[in-house]
Structure 1
């Protein structure tokens, strides 16, 4: 009676876990290990059901071989799942060759006069080999995907390995059958729940990585790799905090390239794109890691320079930008002459909001354009051409 209750409870648990794995495996782009583990727990369920179905039969050999054959398939799929989880496909050839050999051996036990104890011993050996391989793969490749749930699965597999060593006691000591199967059910439950948690964790990580990548793309100019205008608005408040530190300034540099349109018109947009990439690299090299470089459209760029000590340092940055952007840009075997007109606004002297500061710097840049291009100008000051 207790024997049937234990296997009924065990079968029910395996069925629920199987359904959970099937549901998770249907999520798009889920690691293929989930499908193999769903199949593994399905065969574990069939193995338990075979014990229930044969409980009233006197053919002990058929019961043993049925249970063993299904159990071997479960453990093989368990190992195949962990190999797939870590992307280790080459090892699966030997795995399935060994599984085929194990199933053929069990068939021989059923059809020939091979002693029943040999079938029991082979079941123990097969399970020890597969569970040991499962735990070994996780330990060996723990650096590839250091998930605590996989460690828990490896520990459960190691404990199941020890538990299978006690399998002969079930036949030498019938009183051990019920607690033995209960312990095995508990360890199997821990093993598969840990694997399910690992799959869910990998899904969560994938979603977070995708979200981070989407945010990264949303905040970057696809051509130059610089930040875009949206990012400037998102980061401005943090930049203001730095500007509010004692004796520090924040400057907005509005940069418009000189002589860029003729390059696009004569050499083509492909060459123009390459020129913009070179310009972006020069802006990066001319600024500090605390500064923010952005392309806001066409040949227009903005730099937010933070942690500046005084107006003289602002001028030094402006002079460096004018010098760097005045150098010829070589694309292929041809050099293109550019230059830049730069308008500068300061926080909080020229405004407290980014939109206002950009408008002030844009107006100053326009005055440089009218004064002959190639230079920089502060808001409300005389043009300084270089």
Structure 2
């Protein structure tokens, strides 16, 4: 049971998080539940499909900033006397897009994934009562450049490349007790850091006036990967003696590939439907005992809708579902876009729920306010 919980939390904090995003990311894409694989001319193209910038017609430089104004996470962990919760404020994306003689370029800094997740279980096996509490703190930062251009009036290409840094801290407490026999407790602290190069090439094809198709892929190549784990344990046979171990190791095995197929259906200049499918390949990693464990492949589907209202306002909304062998994610997001000349400001919110498939593991909910602005000058 402990292994299942650890695997579930490591899935959330593994390199798979660096190629697929279960939370909102991008500019308009964040309010469409990340369904932007076929979107044209959005600063969020740098993350999901850089080819979207190839069709950019505006010759002005644009600066975009988006983020979570407030985000709240709630956890269902029965072993806590008080339900743990977290409040966070963080940027999602800062990007500058500008024209060049040869096409459209962009530079960007993103914090697409950051979370603090709690887990726990309490069960009895072979007469031994085992209780575990776990917490994982995860952060990803990515910076890079994008270049995009058209092949012809119907086909564009683009590529984003840069450096990604993932940091993760895992805290674990385990207590095992059997009446009249033995009792033991242990505390584990694991810290790891991975620096990787990433490349995201993409294509966007205007199959018809009402139908656009986008295809992109993201892959990682590690520059460095380090980790250290410390364990402190006591037992009833020697309650005054603390056993300490300290190990350094390389946690990463194989990195994932992520493939995104996006479509945009244009019903009218005021109404569009977006539909994305994402596949993330299976990965592997190693623990402090040099034991290899696998993270299963991940599938995601997202659906977004854009509807123009009166004046210069647009309604954006979307739903995404992510499935793995360990857990299911559901995300809903929505926002109101306000356009003035070539400037755009969007404000809205999102709700994300996680349901582990192991009934003994703990799930969580996250919700908050989103904002994004894009200024051209």
TM-score by length of 1: 0.20
The structure, 1 or 2, with the larger RCO (C-alpha pairs under 8 Å, 6+ apart) is 2
Q: Which structure carries more strand by proportion? A: 2
Query: Which of structures 1 and 2 has the bigger CA Rg?
Result: 1
